[in-house]
A and B are shown apart, each in its own frame.
Chain A
Amino acid sequence: DTGVSQDPRHKITKRGQNVTFRCDPISEHNRLYWYRQTLGQGPEFLTYFQNEAQLEKSRLLSDRFSAERPKGSFSTLEIQRTEQGDSAMYLCASSLAPQRPGKTQYFGPGTRLLVL
């Protein structure tokens, strides 16, 4: 247990439905990251926050995806109008900035999404 928690751990939904995932980082960490991982691939960066501010978004993050971190603590990732291609593991990580070598990101267990 790294101290990063994600909820739910598993989600099955029908195509076209909206889903929301939550991530609770390690409490003193000011940076929070979202990644997506499909079968057989390494995790792919989606977006990250420093405190409340969303500082970078990958081009993988389409208009149907939105992430928030309203109070600089937990974060939510919402996917609207889900598609079968959204089926993946969604990973959250947190870190303490500024980054130093070795002050790495700590990952949560992930939320596995299946879109039928």
Chain B
Amino acid sequence: DAKTTQPPSMDCAEGRAANLPCNHSTISGNEYVYWYRQIHSQGPQYIIHGLKNNETNEMASLIITEDRKSSTLILPHATLRDTAVYYCIVRVDRDDKIIFGKGTRLHILP
């Protein structure tokens, strides 16, 4: 079973920041938080990952709470092309397989 809990769906207006929450209350000390997304009819795409500190890259920002029991993926200026299912995953770095949950279906509204 997936170790994370995400809302099944969310809406966000185009141009606004999309904030996607994820609960991972049983995360262990050596587990990273990863985010992937899957645009319709495509394979999953890596977005970002983090261990303790907040992270930012060209796609998104990842905010991890101090107790590491939850995190938020932030898409700063959502566009229609960000409409996708977003998966929050916890895994150790040596894990070979990825365990996906059902993710959050994000709808960007024009």
Contacts and interface: CB of A to CB of B under 8 A. Distances in A.
Interface string B30-72: 0010100000011111100101000000000000000000000
Contacts, number: 60
Interface stretch (B12-20, B21-29, B74-82, B100-108): B100-108
Given A101-B49, A101-B51, A102-B49, A107 B96 contact: no
Interface residues of A, number: 29
A33 interface: yes
Interface residues of B, number: 24
Contacts of B97: 33, 45, 48, 56, 58
Nearest to A91: B43
Interface stretch (A14-22, A36-44, A61-69): A36-44
B2 interface: yes
Interface of A: 2, 4, 31, 33, 35, 40-45, 48, 55-56, 58, 91, 93, 98-102, 104-110
Given A4-B43, A55-B96, 8 more contacts: A42-B87, A45-B98, A45-B99, A48-B96, A98-B94, A100-B93, A105-B98, A108-B43
Interface of B: 2, 32, 34, 41-46, 49, 51, 85, 87, 93-103
13 contacts: A2-B43, A42-B101, A42-B102, A42-B103, A98-B94, A100-B93, A101-B32, A101-B51, A102-B49, A104-B46, A104-B49, A105-B46, A107-B44
